[in-house]
Structure 1
């Protein structure tokens, strides 16, 4: 019945609570995928449920032809947390990237002598629509859909010399502070700082894709804060909605170039999604969950390092905040399947990495549970082999 776009396992999940999921037989699973960094407060957080019930009886959608209090409140919160001035709301990370690319092209045309080239990084992942795909540095996602959108050029990640050689004609550089789908590979601080300098020198925009690593996942609300580099444009989504679809593009004064008619969205930033986004931010920021992430991330990383010492299958622990990963010395597909058979949900990434993505409100005791469960999985997998 469904178009075959995902290789789904033969499981049907019915409900969830916190880090736990339950299938049709009411079997319990430990969810270390969190909707691929979407469920920032876990499954069915009581405050999100409360907001959903309340907002559903109040207002769902009226279109962006009109203001809503919920959208204005969320915009004000995001601007207040950021170094940026304006927000555009959409429905997903890919849509956020598409908006950012349009901002870049218009900026180049009007403010940078008609420059139109957009530089992107090898092994990056920015989405599956044609624009986002055209700045995604992985040919396996691109090949069947060529020709892609022109005027883009791939650069080596963390290679300043390669960037410098390709700056001529560029209106923007798009980069992930940490390449999630490539295997949780962090940008070097000096690399991002140099990109900032180059964009200022060459009059082009610096775009950060924080779709996976943003919204508190890194330990600061915006990942760029961890690197000490302020981009002109920030793309975010995933954890911002805690499970409800929402994306956002933040721009500084330099990149605030759209006027009515330049871009739009039917559902983006509707009252329902923004109400939930406001609740997520209240829990993360006002109630302080965000300020516990660094400490919990340190504890989780320590536990993963213990696993590395215990099992030769693990080559490296890598990641940032509560976006951690285990690089294995073989393709992790069979390991992930074995984990699912043993009621643990894991997700892979490039470079043989298994991502460990708990909700941001994970408790200290739950981190110990993660360690014990993963240890048992590794032991069982080793024995099975």
Structure 2
């Protein structure tokens, strides 16, 4: 990874041919307050008011409309794997868009085909494996659920997922998502989904012991991100593979957040202590795959699984378009070229240790893999800490009342991460008392 003498990864801006003819960007004028007011009258209120209105980014930093700089330790929720405005990524997107932007899936493009080939290779998938390209993790999981329905042919009505799971918000993916607040407003959801206690091998065995031959698939995340960066215990995926194989069910791994290098391997299940050499039937990917450009995919392992979705049984207008495919290929290429898997592994280990070594009594635990990290607090003040961090120029995510989630760009350095370590070290012991009514 190339850095400046100050330790900041180089991200010189790429100026695309014809950029001088571009129309002015709306964010060129207006304060955060002005843009937030306009947001309230124009954008549907599904997310609440924006915390800030951001206008540009470079490397691991973003700037808001008032000119304030923030250290981005969330990376668009594990999306901006190369940071912001990475020159290789922006050049690849600009070059592809200047050549061929969209053609529909009546046609193919070299970028689409090359990306599918790369994903099969990175996943160590066997001969005959195939890829369905989509636009997001939700769409990838929706496709996976449809594939499992084809596998069962109606004779296997049970689908198993885990408590704490987050697989998306479309109706099919939402049926696999455990959180009641997400599910209940839209019930009844597609049926047949049963939730098992997270990481509980006895519960997993029991689910297959009676009616195991009626199970179409087991959906699991090797590390649950939304639930607080919780890793499956060693041996769980091996048992899941054993049981699904014995009963003819599919093992579907949701690597939307954990895939494409986030944990220091291309896929989290490739870690010996997580997957132990387990070969799934389906893996879903998205988020970091495109480095910030919307792209997702489903990898079907082997010809039998790949054949479960046939002609006319699923589709997408934008999935696998040339620009998204070029962005994904560029992202994978930079990760390989700059040795970012090793960097993610080493930096993640150092950052977790530095956070633990603060010795702050408000920190119960620091956990994670690679650059997917959770700081678990002893009291439910994560939202307050995240708000204070934002005010101090650091973006983190309170994914549970007691958990701060970090999913920064892979190009982060030790020096750049230090302000967050300092912030954690300085958390006051009386913070919990301030939250008491």
Global fold match (TM > 0.5): yes
Q: How does 1:286-297 map to 2 (within 5 A)?
A: 286-297=337-348
Q: How does 1:34-183 map to 2 (within 5 A)?
A: 34-84=75-125, 85-109=129-153, 114-167=155-208, 168=211, 169-183=214-228
With over 3 angstroms needed to count, the CA separation of the structure-2 counterparts of 1:351 and 1:203, relative to structure 1, is farther
Alignment correspondent of 1:212 = 257
With over 3 angstroms needed to count, the CA separation of the structure-2 counterparts of 1:189 and 1:380, relative to structure 1, is closer
**Is 2:260–2:288's contact at 8 Å kept on the other side of the alignment?**
yes
Alignment correspondent of 1:198 = 243
Aligned partner of residue 48 in structure 2, secondary structure: coil
Aligned partner of residue 189 in structure 1, secondary structure: coil
Aligned partner of residue 21 in structure 1, secondary structure: strand
**Is 1:182–1:351's contact at 8 Å kept on the other side of the alignment?**
no
**Is 2:383–2:401's contact at 8 Å kept on the other side of the alignment?**
no
Distance 1:127 1:49 in 2: 28
Alignment correspondent of 2:409 = 359
**Is 1:335–1:381's contact at 8 Å kept on the other side of the alignment?**
no
Distance 2:51 2:419 in 1: 25
Aligned partner of residue 235 in structure 2, secondary structure: helix
- For structure 1, the residue ranges without an aligned partner over 5 or more in a row are none
Distance 2:202 2:424 in 1: 41
**Is 2:362–2:429's contact at 8 Å kept on the other side of the alignment?**
no
Distance 1:249 1:285 in 2: 21
**Is 1:120–1:154's contact at 8 Å kept on the other side of the alignment?**
yes
- For structure 2, the residue ranges without an aligned partner over 5 or more in a row are 1-41
Alignment correspondent of 2:53 = 12
Alignment correspondent of 1:272 = 323
Distance 2:218 2:354 in 1: 36
1:326 pairs with 2:375: yes
Return the offset for 1:164.
2.4
Query: What is the TM-score normalised by the length of structure 2?
Result: 0.83
Distance 1:83 1:166 in 2: 29
Query: What is the TM-score normalised by the length of structure 1?
Result: 0.94
Distance 1:192 1:287 in 2: 31
For residues 126-179 of structure 1, what are the alpha-carbon distances to aligned partners after superposition, in whole Å with 9 as ceiling and x for unaligned? 111111111111212111111111111111111122222223210100001011
Aligned partner of residue 238 in structure 2, secondary structure: helix
Aligned partner of residue 166 in structure 1, secondary structure: helix
Runs of 4+ in 1 over 4 A off after TM superposition: 379-385
Alignment correspondent of 1:348 = 398
Distance 1:287 1:31 in 2: 20
With over 3 angstroms needed to count, the CA separation of the structure-2 counterparts of 1:71 and 1:381, relative to structure 1, is farther
Return the offset for 1:384.
10
Alignment correspondent of 2:14 = none
Larger Rg: 1 or 2?
Answer: 2
Alignment correspondent of 1:338 = 388
Distance 1:11 1:292 in 2: 30
Aligned partner of residue 302 in structure 1, secondary structure: helix
Distance 2:410 2:138 in 1: 23
- Count matched residues: 379
1:189 pairs with 2:230: no
Distance 1:65 1:302 in 2: 51
